[in-house]
């Protein structure tokens, strides 16, 4: 059963006067879209308003997003100054993001760097990986390593070098290892909660105001497979 985030069950990893860092649940949508579903940004505003008894409108800036079926770390800005600085930080790739993914098929190598050229299809909201540069493609690069072999699956740790649309999902599918539950990229069965086993596990980030280097780690969702990872 899918449980979405509310102001009462929000998984806050860090908060101060300038930023709030949340562990997003599967199914949470970070920012409002055409579905009209309540976005995580609104939930976080409600949480701040209630916790700090704030009158009027609460400022909250969306800095980056995660796909709806994924879980893990999302950073929001609580001031306009923090937002502009975080936007620069993410745009210039000055963060270090580590993801965990569960795949059924053993990857060709225990560890590898994948480089593809991705093209995006806005009609069905997917990306396609090409080995060589093609028209309108963007270079995508990531490194992965198998860090645990489970009964029927493999747990991968992934470091992103670029930030492309559906990059991890698309690149893993391109080597024959679609993420568990990811029907869009070739996995044969959906997950009961409609999500996929991709989790934004860790983020290194320079604080936009104090300049301190912060490291956030998000616990994995509570399910049978994630719970077998040690």
Provide the annotated active-site residues.
67
Spatial separation of the C-alpha atoms in residues 182 and 166, rounded to whole Å: 11
Measured distance CA(144)–CA(107) in Å, rounded: 10
Nearest to 76, CA basis, from 218, 219, 208: 208
How does DSSP classify residue 228? G
Please return the burial class of 168, using the count of CB atoms within 10 Å of its CB with bins 0-12, 13-18 and 19+.
Answer: buried
Rounded-to-integer distance, Cα 30 and Cα 69, Å: 11
Q: Residue 181 contacts by C-beta under 8 Å, 6 or more apart in sequence?
A: 69, 187, 189, 190, 191, 194, 195, 196, 197
Three-state DSSP string of 148-199:
EECCCCEEEEEEECCCCCCHHHHHHHHCCCCECCCHHHCCCCCCCCCCCCEE
């Amino acid at each position: 059963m899918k449980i979405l985030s509310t102001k009462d069950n929000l998984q806050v990893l860090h908060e101060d006067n300038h930023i709030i860092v949340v562990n997003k649940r599967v199914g949470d949508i970070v920012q409002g879209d055409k579905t009209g579903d309540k976005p995580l940004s609104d939930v976080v505003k409600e949480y701040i308003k209630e916790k700090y008894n704030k009158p009027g409108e609460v400022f909250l800036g969306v800095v980056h997003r995660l796909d709806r079926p994924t879980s893990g770390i999302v950073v929001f800005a609580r001031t306009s100054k923090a937002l502009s600085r975080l936007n620069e930080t993410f745009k210039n790739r000055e963060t270090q993001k580590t993801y965990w993914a569960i795949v059924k098929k053993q990857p060709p190598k225990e560890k590898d760097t994948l480089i593809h050229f991705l093209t995006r299809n806005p009609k069905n909201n997917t990306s396609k990986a090409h080995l060589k540069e093609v028209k309108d493609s963007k270079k995508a690069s990531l490194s992965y390593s198998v860090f645990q072999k489970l009964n029927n699956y493999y747990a991968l740790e992934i470091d992103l070098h670029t930030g492309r649309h559906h990059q991890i999902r698309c690149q893993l599918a391109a080597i024959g290892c679609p993420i568990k539950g990811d029907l869009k990229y070739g996995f044969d069965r959906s997950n009961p909660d409609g999500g996929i086993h991709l989790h934004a596990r860790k983020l290194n980030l320079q604080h936009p105001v104090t300049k301190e280097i912060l490291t956030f780690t998000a616990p994995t969702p509570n399910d049978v497979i994630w719970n077998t990872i040690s």
